């Protein structure tokens, strides 16, 4: 197999995608709560919204 020299660009059309929630689900409850608390401390809208969703999903 011959390799090309230089950079070769390609273009891919995305036709479908799937969303998954990851949100630290592999953490124990103590870590999970601490992550939520730290998100609230930032006073940033997106962080607060994320913390709210994490609370809903885990029920803490």
Does 19 reside within a domain? yes
- pLDDT (tens digit per residue) in 31-48: 999 999 999 999 999 999
**Domain count along the chain:** 1
Residue 2 has pLDDT above 80, yes or no: no
Task: Give the model's confidence band at 25: pLDDT under 50 very low, under 70 low, under 90 confident, else very high.
Answer: confident
Contacts of 25-32 with CB under 8 Å at 24 or more apart are: 25/57, 25/58, 29/58, 29/60, 32/58, 32/60
Residue 55 is assigned to a structural domain of this protein: yes
Between these two residues, 49 and 60, which has the higher pLDDT value?
49
Is residue 38, in this structure, part of any structural domain at all?
yes
Enclosing domain of residue 56:
14-60
């Amino acid at each position: 197999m011959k390799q090309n020299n230089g950079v070769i660009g390609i273009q891919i059309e995305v036709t479908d995608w799937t969303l998954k929630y990851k949100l630290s689900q592999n953490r124990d409850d103590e870590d999970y709560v601490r992550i939520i608390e730290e998100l609230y401390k930032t006073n940033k809208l997106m962080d607060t919204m994320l913390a709210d969703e994490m609370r809903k999903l885990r029920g803490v």
